[in-house]
Amino acid sequence: MNPEPEYREGLDELAAHYKEVLTLLGEDPEREGLLKTPMRVAKAMQVLTQGYSMDAHEILRSALFKENYSQMVIVKDIDFFSLCEHHMLPFYGKAHVAYIPNGYITGLSKIARVVDIYAHRLQVQERMTLQIKECIEQTLHPLGVMVVVEARHMCMQMRGVEKQNSITTTSDFSGAFNQAKTRQEFMNLIHNNS
């Protein structure tokens, strides 16, 4: 069982606003099924945006190890959930991250934590991809970094264009990944299902 998360300041005020939202939508926030909804939503929103209070650079530095390894390190298929800043609807998918160490490596789970930190903010996929890359680049100073994010956006599936099967892919890279051959090796490795 997961422990109850620590909530940030403003939880009661946030719940009061959600109660008002229910009223504005034409609902009765006093009916039995909705009595606890404003607080539930407020708590959910604080969890879904907890990345604002976390330092991704510090997470990487907390498990930094000197290592003489200079080949590609890939953490692929990192599941994530985020909220689009335009409609505050979820987008979700997988992030694939590679870096080529330059004297230092980090704990593999820390790469996934970096993805989670940036995903747990109001986001656009393009910025999240860039932030993940820049964090690894600025903290580890590797020979190169590449990030690919593949996601489904509920704002495209539930409203507007309503295209349920569309997937958005973004990428960003630096250093050694500026070479097409290195990028291709990464892409081959993340899409290899064997």
Catalytic residue set: 84-87, 125, 153, 155
Residue 128 burial (C-beta neighbours within 10 Å; 0-12, 13-18, 19+): buried
CA separation, residue 129 to residues 61, 88, 152 (Å): 20, 18, 14
Is 172 in contact with 147 (CB distance < 8 Å)? yes
Instruction: Give Cα separations from 90 to 14, 124, 180 (angstroms).
Output: 19, 11, 33
Max CA pair span of the chain:
63
Q: With beta carbons less than 8 A apart as the criterion, state whether 155 and 89 touch.
A: yes
